[in-house]
């Protein structure tokens, strides 16, 4: 079996789909994208195309090694995201060829389903108490929200109070056993992160996410001294080599590799295995489309330390398209009781509505995240 063609489809809201065809009529789908840099990642995929044409798509490890190591410069969001989407599509092909879901190649499933959480509140969170209650009434057991808007290196305590008031509203409407994750989104610098994490401690959060930017990894140890709340991070880390220092440091509780950024299904399975050895949980990052989510679920199936899965249904970014729109059967992701079943069909376990994808790709998108500024005019983290 040989790879014959790669086709890229930029589709709303901000996604990039990849279809890889073979000479045996089997095709696979992947999602190689960086949010806000879809065209850049697409160009990177095209640069890799010459090597891929004519290769056996079942030789996934060898192809990964060549794409990652063979061009001298390696890693980073663009190159690794391009590899990730290619790798997902190769697994989809391999699973269809052997008539097995991907997880069967990775040791088999150790679970039937996995809990998922929903996003509420948007970039500038508001009315989160009622929004969380609506998700609870739909059967979900956990939500995640952005914690704060712009926050300077040292900022007003009013902003900390506002975060606590929003979290308190969720606790009041949804009760003590409802899971609440607060994403600092790297918007908060070390000093304010310590304050904010400590003030949120009484609310018994499921986790705080990216309390500081991942490149400031030394600050995680300082924040961990002040709280017992689980700390999560990892969406902006790429491959095992980026995660190494986090494992060695040992203060992060939950890692969040993104299967469309960190190297693909097998690479994240390796990262999850490393995390297990350090007694860390895994909650894969996935505010993306159905192919990325399907890839996550295949990895979740065989990673015993995966405990909850992010998914983008109804997320505030999804304008012009949503998670289930591109599937032939939206019931493939069978949400029930706050969990989703692991798809058991061959490959990634989903069927993409290709005709709809082609139609939507005619419009495409040019999604960019906003640029924020503090009150004094300095650029703020988004």
> Per DSSP, what are the bridge partners of residue 209?
183, 232
DSSP letters of 162-207? HHHHHHHHHHHHH-TTSEEEEE-TT-S-HHHHHHHHHHHGGG--SE
> Per DSSP, what are the bridge partners of residue 3?
22
Integer angstrom CA distances of residue 124 from 21, 146, 149, 183, 269: 42, 7, 6, 12, 33
Tell which residue, 287, 225, 226, 215, has the closest CA to residue 256. Answer: 287
- Catalytic-role residue among 152, 185, 226, 316: 185
* Catalytic residue list contains 185: yes
Contact between 208 and 231 under an 8 Å Cβ cutoff? The reply is yes
- Catalytic-role residue among 189, 261, 285, 365: 285
* Catalytic residue list contains 226: no
3-class DSSP state for residue 379? Answer: strand
DSSP letters of 12-23? TTTEEEEEEEET
DSSP letters of 262-277? SS-HHHHHHHHHHHHH
Q: What are phi and psi of 155, to 5 degrees?
A: -140, 175
How many CA atoms are closer than 13 Å to the CA of 119, on its beta-carbon side?
Answer: 21
Q: Catalytic positions, please?
A: 185, 285
């Amino acid at each position: 079996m040989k790879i014959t063609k790669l086709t890229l489809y930029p589709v709303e809201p901000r996604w990039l789909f990849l279809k890889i065809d073979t000479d045996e009529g089997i095709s696979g789908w992947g999602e190689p994208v960086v949010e806000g840099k879809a065209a850049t990642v697409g160009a990177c995929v095209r640069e890799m195309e010459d090597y891929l044409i004519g290769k056996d798509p079942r030789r996934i490890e060898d192809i990964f090694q060549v794409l990652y190591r063979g061009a001298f410069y390696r890693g980073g969001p663009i190159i690794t995201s391009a590899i990730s989407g290619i790798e997902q599509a190769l697994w989809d092909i391999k699973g269809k060829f052997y008539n097995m879901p991907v997880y069967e190649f990775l040791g088999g499933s150790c679970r039937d389903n996995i809990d998922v959480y929903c996003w509420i509140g948007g970039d500038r969170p508001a009315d989160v108490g009622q929004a969380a209650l609506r998700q609870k009434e739909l059967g979900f057991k956990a939500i995640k929200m952005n914690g704060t808007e712009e926050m300077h290196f040292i900022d007003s305590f009013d902003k900390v109070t506002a975060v606590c008031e929003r979290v308190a509203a969720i606790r009041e409407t949804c009760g003590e056993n409802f899971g609440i994750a607060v994403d600092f989104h790297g918007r908060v610098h070390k000093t304010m992160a310590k304050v904010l994490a400590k003030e949120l401690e009484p609310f018994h959060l499921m986790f705080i996410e990216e309390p500081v930017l991942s490149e400031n990894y030394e600050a995680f140890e300082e924040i961990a001294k002040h709280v017992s709340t689980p700390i999560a991070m990892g969406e902006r880390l790429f491959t095992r080599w980026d995660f190494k220092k986090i494992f060695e440091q040992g203060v992060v509780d939950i890692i969040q590799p993104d299967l469309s950024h960190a190297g693909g299904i097998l690479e994240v399975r390796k990262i999850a295995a490393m995390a297990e050895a350090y007694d860390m949980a895994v909650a894969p990052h996935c505010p993306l489309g159905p192919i990325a989510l399907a890839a996550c679920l295949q990895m979740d199936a065989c990673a015993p330390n995966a405990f909850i899965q992010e998914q983008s249904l109804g997320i505030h970014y999804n304008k012009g398209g949503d998670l289930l729109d591109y599937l032939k059967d939206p019931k493939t992701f069978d949400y029930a009781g706050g969990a989703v079943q692991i798809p058991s069909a061959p490959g990634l376990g989903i069927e993409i509505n290709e005709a709809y994808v082609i139609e939507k790709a005619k419009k495409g998108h040019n999604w960019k995240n906003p640029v924020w500024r503090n009150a004094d005019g300095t650029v703020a983290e988004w």
